[in-house]
């Protein structure tokens, strides 16, 4: 029973792991060429000389097969010539995959793979000193094979995520993260340069769970189609795009901290360059031998195997003539204090290659470049012509214990000091002493743009302060971005507080107004000189007065006078000719109240309509004064004749003047003892209908054409004056 149980357990283990791990005493890394350790073979792996004195010029390697999902652990010691003989571990089969570990000298290796990760271990030696070599223990854990797949394969994640690279770069392939727990699965990687949904094209020789290293010329999307061979059912798994970066040109200020580097030993962008991918490298995490970042987690380094001079070249940076720049970087070597690194230099270049190097060395260590902690290397420079330039970082590494020279945070900026890119700014005022409220002109020179503390942003501006003022202006050189501040002070003398008054300030047309001013020593009105002025405005008017104080400062006040228009008054009489004892109605309009005054006797009447009569013959004129709601007045007059009217029949006036016949048909005669100067005939409305100036004692008036009715005849003959009412038949 025990034997049967043991066999069942063994069968189950075989089904799960594919095969039991085997033990092999040791395997030697060949001097040249390669060999393979099968999945599940636990063994000791040594150099070609079996961990004794190895030979010069070795370069062989051993492949450790991980099978389906086995995890490989590598541990042990190495004793080699430092900086010349190396133990390296690569991802995948052969030395073309990603370098996972690279050690030299004396030390201990402890490395564990991911499930199903096949590894390659290489040992190399140069042609000089030889040491004991390498002694490693290789152990496996996990299945080397699995059960057959059925149905549709599960969707598994892939790595790496989408990233940006450069055209033609050798890219680490995508791989499925984790492993399927079954076998009988096929893989086909596909690519598309059109979109994330295809159309898809199969990738040649890409039928494993990991996409081999590749390069792209343009942005490319990838997916892997996983198929169960038993069911022939497939699952496409998106692996994300690989973007090809565009050209990069930077402006100042410029800083490269390598934090955008996607993978170790990549450059910040496609416009960077270097002379060697072995001796000029980048890292995305801290490494041994004092290799750490100055900031962040990513940095660059020079490696001294093989010995020689190496270069990094930045992408293009726009630099302007007439500007002094500061450029620099941070660097450090290992902790040994060895001096085999020298001439770390920062050099101006016109292209990202050694052919573009100029004679303008910005900064250099000259001799040894040694520092156990990060140290600044910097200098200033300028360019003769505005354009796009590159920065070259150069170092020379010789054989020695300091294998690496790390550097980080390459920068270019524009310093602004009293001696470097100075801004000679001046500020001036048109007058250092002004009266309050008076405008002063402010001018700044020496920069390209300006900002005053008044808010103005032009070189010249103006202000009208009321108290002593200090003006500040910040001037900026737009080419360098450097600024300076200048100031100018203006003393302000107080201006008098001038007050103007009008008495009264509301008048009628023709009224007089007294203007007065106070608050200063002397005054000038726009209508005269002096504190007091008298004016008679005919319409609304504003009067200005300027007062000057003892300090010769002046200010102005304005007084407004409102002028109300006089009313338009009219007057009419109901009858222009009347006889003594008769009445006439006098009417006025155009105002609110009215007052009538007789021109003959000075009698006063009030009201819009008045009744007038006289027992004395006379020529009467009555003047009416109208007053409106504003108290403004105007006059009108009405004239009429009061006659004696002795009778309609022929008679005499003043006992000697005769008017006949009366009534009359066509002609009317006037006879007087003296020369008749004038005879006038009026109708009932006061309209003159006939006149005569005979210049004799007799006058004849024609009534032809007149309507029948009552008319009034007025005569003047020397001292004889009279009115006669006549009838036209």
pLDDT 10s digits, 599-620: 766 678 899 999 988 877 777 8
With cut-offs at 50, 70 and 90, classify the pLDDT of residue 181: confident
> Does residue 257 register a pLDDT over 70?
yes
- DSSP secondary structure of 250-319: E-SSEEE-STT--STT--SSTT-EES-TTTEEEESS-BTTTB--SSSS-EEEEE-SS-EEEEEE--EEEE
Going by C-alpha positions, the residue among 368, 133, 127, 171 that lies closest to residue 262 is: 171
Residue 600: predicted pLDDT: 66
Strands (E), 334-386: 341-349, 357-364, 375-381
Beta bridge partners of 579: 643
With cut-offs at 50, 70 and 90, classify the pLDDT of residue 655: low
Beta bridge partners of 396: 309, 342
Radius of gyration of the chain, Cα coordinates, nearest whole angstrom: 61
Q: For residue 237, give every residue at least 6 positions away whose Cβ sits within 8 Å of its Cβ, in sequence order, or none.
A: 155, 156, 158, 176, 223, 224, 225, 226
> Does residue 7 register a pLDDT over 50?
no
pTM as predicted: 0.54
Q: How many Å from the N-terminal Cα to the C-terminal Cα in the chain?
A: 177
Average pLDDT over residues 633-646: 83
d(CA 672, CA 292): 147
Q: How many CB atoms lie within 10 A of CB 63?
A: 18
Residues forming CATH 2.60.120.260 domain(s) in the chain: 249-413
On whether the 249-413 domain is CATH 2.60.120.260, my answer is: yes
Average pLDDT over residues 427-445: 96
Per-residue CA distances from 710 to 79, 458, 578, 664, 703 (Å): 160, 92, 11, 11, 12
Contact call for residues 635 and 569 (beta carbons, < 8 A)? yes
Residue holding tokens 């009429």?
Answer: 640
Give the three-class secondary structure for 531: coil
Going by C-alpha positions, the residue among 320, 322, 328 that lies closest to residue 380 is: 328
| Assigned CATH topology for domain 426-493 | Immunoglobulin-like (2.60.40)
Please, what is the average pLDDT of the chain?
Answer: 90
SS (H, E, C) 654-712: CCCEEEECCCECCEEEEEEEEEECEEEEECCCCCEEEEECCCEEEEEEECCCCCCEEEE
Report CA 657 to chain centroid distance, whole Å.
Answer: 107
Contact call for residues 395 and 75 (beta carbons, < 8 A)? no
Residues forming CATH 2.60.120.290 domain(s) in the chain: 14-141
> Does residue 687 register a pLDDT over 90?
no
Q: Model confidence over 568-603: pLDDT tens digits?
A: 999 999 888 888 888 889 999 999 999 999 876 667
- DSSP secondary structure of 10-77: HHHHHHHHSS--EEEEEEEPPSSSEEEE-TTEEEEEE-TTSSSSPPTT---EEEE--TTT-EEEEEEE
CATH class given for the domain over 499-564: mainly beta
- DSSP secondary structure of 401-423: S--EEEEEEEEEE----SSSS--
SS (H, E, C) 243-262: EECCCCEECCCEEECCCCCC
Average pLDDT over residues 4-23: 42
Q: How many CB atoms lie within 10 A of CB 247?
A: 9
Q: How many CB atoms lie within 10 A of CB 124?
A: 18
Residue holding tokens 């720049």?
Answer: 325
Exposure string for 390-409, b = 16+ CB within 10 A, e = fewer = bbbbbbbbebbbbbbbbbbb
Q: What is the largest CA-CA distance in the chain?
A: 190
Q: Which helix (H) or strand (E) holds 3?
A: helix 2-17
Sign for the CA dihedral angle at 290, 291, 296, 302 comes to positive
Looking at domain 570-643, which CATH architecture does it have?
Sandwich (2.60)
Angle (CA) 174 176 182, round 5°? 150
Q: Model confidence over 279-306: pLDDT tens digits?
A: 999 999 999 999 999 999 999 999 999 9
Q: Is the N-terminal amide bond of 390 cis, ω within 30° of 0?
A: no
Q: Which helix (H) or strand (E) holds 8?
A: helix 2-17
Residue 389: predicted pLDDT: 98
SS3 content of the chain, % helix, strand, coil (to 5): 5, 50, 45
With cut-offs at 50, 70 and 90, classify the pLDDT of residue 12: very low
Residue 20: predicted pLDDT: 45
Beginning with the edge strand found earlier in the chain, give each strand of the sheet holding 449-452 in spatial order: 433-435, 483-493, 469-476, 449-452
Contact call for residues 592 and 628 (beta carbons, < 8 A)? yes
Candidates 2.60.120.290, 3.40.50.800, 1.10.4190.10, 3.40.50.720; CATH matching 14-141: 2.60.120.290
| Least-confidence region, from 106-110, 145-149, 369-373, 468-472 | 145-149
Candidates 2.60.120.40, 1.10.1840.10, 3.90.380.10, 2.60.40.3080; CATH matching 651-728: 2.60.40.3080
| Assigned CATH topology for domain 147-244 | Immunoglobulin-like (2.60.40)
Residue 646: predicted pLDDT: 56
Average pLDDT over residues 102-113: 96
With cut-offs at 50, 70 and 90, classify the pLDDT of residue 189: very high
Residues forming CATH 2.60.40.10 domain(s) in the chain: 426-493, 499-564, 570-643
């Amino acid at each position: 029973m025990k034997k049967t149980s043991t066999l069942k357990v063994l069968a189950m283990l075989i089904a799960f792991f594919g095969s039991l791990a085997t033990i092999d005493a040791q395997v030697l890394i060949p001097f040249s060429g390669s060999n393979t350790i099968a999945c599940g073979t636990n063994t000791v792996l040594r150099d070609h000389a079996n961990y004794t004195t190895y030979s010069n010029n070795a370069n062989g390697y051993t492949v450790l097969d991980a099978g389906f999902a086995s995890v490989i652990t590598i541990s042990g010691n190495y004793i080699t010539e430092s900086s010349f003989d190396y133990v390296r571990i690569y991802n995948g089969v052969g030395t073309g995959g990603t370098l996972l570990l690279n050690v030299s000298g004396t030390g201990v290796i402890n490395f564990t793979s991911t499930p199903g990760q096949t590894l390659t271990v290489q040992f190399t030696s140069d042609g000089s000193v030889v040491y004991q070599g390498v002694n490693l223990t290789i152990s496996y854990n996990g299945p080397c094979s699995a059960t057959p797949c059925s149905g549709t394969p599960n969707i598994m994640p892939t790595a790496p995520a989408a990233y940006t690279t450069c055209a033609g770069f050798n890219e680490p392939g995508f791989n499925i993260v984790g492993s399927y727990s079954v076998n009988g699965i096929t893989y086909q990687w596909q690519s598309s340069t059109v979109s994330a949904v295809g159309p898809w094209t199969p990738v040649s020789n890409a039928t494993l769970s990991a996409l081999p290293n590749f390069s792209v010329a343009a942005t490319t999307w990838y997916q892997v189609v996983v198929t169960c061979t038993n069911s022939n059912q497939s699952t496409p798994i998106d692996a994300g795009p690989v973007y090809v970066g565009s050209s990069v040109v930077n402006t100042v200020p410029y800083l490269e901290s390598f934090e955008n580097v996607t993978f170790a030993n990549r450059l910040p962008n496609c416009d960077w360059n270097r002379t060697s991918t072995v001796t000029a490298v980048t890292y995305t995490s801290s490494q041994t031998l004092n290799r750490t970042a100055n900031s962040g987690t990513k940095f660059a380094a020079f490696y001294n195997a093989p010995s020689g001079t190496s270069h990094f070249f930045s992408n293009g940076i726009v630099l302007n003539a007439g500007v002094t720049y500061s450029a620099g970087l941070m660097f450090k070597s290992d902790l040994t204090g060895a001096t085999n690194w020298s001439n770390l230099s920062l050099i101006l270049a016109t292209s990202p290659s050694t052919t573009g190097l100029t004679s303008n060395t910005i900064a250099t260590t000259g001799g040894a470049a040694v520092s156990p902690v990060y140290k600044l290397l910097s200098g200033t420079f300028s360019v003769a012509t505005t354009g796009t330039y590159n920065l070259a970082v150069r170092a020379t590494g010789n054989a020695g214990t300091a294998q690496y020279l790390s550097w980080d945070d390459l920068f270019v900026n524009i310093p602004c000091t009293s001696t470097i890119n100075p801004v000679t700014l001046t500020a001036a005022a048109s007058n250092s002493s002004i009266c309050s409220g008076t405008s002063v002109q402010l001018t700044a020179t020496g920069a390209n743009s300006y900002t005053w503390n008044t808010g103005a942003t032009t070189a010249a501006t103006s202000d009208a302060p009321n108290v002593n003022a200090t003006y500040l202006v910040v001037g900026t050189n737009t080419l360098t971005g450097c600024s300076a501040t200048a100031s100018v002070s203006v003393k302000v003398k107080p201006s008098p507080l001038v007050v103007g008054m009008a008495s009264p300030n509301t008048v009628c047309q023709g009224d007089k107004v007294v203007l007065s001013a106070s608050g200063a020593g002397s005054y000038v009105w726009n209508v005269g000189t002096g504190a007091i002025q008298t004016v008679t405005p005919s319409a609304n008017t504003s009067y200005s007065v300027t007062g000057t104080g003892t300090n010769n400062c002046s200010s102005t006040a304005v007084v407004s006078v409102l002028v109300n228009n006089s009313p338009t008054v009219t007057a009419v009489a109901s009858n222009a000719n009347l006889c003594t004892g008769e009445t006439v109605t006098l009417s006025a309009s155009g105002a609110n109240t009215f007052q009538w005054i007789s021109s003959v006797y000075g009698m006063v009447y009030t009201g819009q309509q008045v009744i007038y009569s006289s027992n004395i013959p006379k020529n009467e004129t009555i003047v009416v004064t109208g007053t409106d709601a504003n108290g403004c007045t105007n006059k009108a007059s009405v004239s009429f004749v009061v006659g004696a009217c002795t009778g309609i029949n022929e008679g005499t006036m003043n006992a000697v003047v005769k008017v006949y016949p009366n009534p009359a048909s066509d002609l009317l005669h006037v006879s007087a003892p003296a020369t008749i100067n004038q005879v006038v005939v009026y109708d009932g409305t006061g309209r003159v209908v006939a006149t005569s100036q005979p210049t004799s004692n007799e006058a004849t008036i024609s009534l032809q054409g007149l309507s029948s009715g009552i008319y009034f005849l007025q005569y003047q003959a020397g001292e004889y004056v009279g009115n006669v009412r006549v009838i036209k038949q």
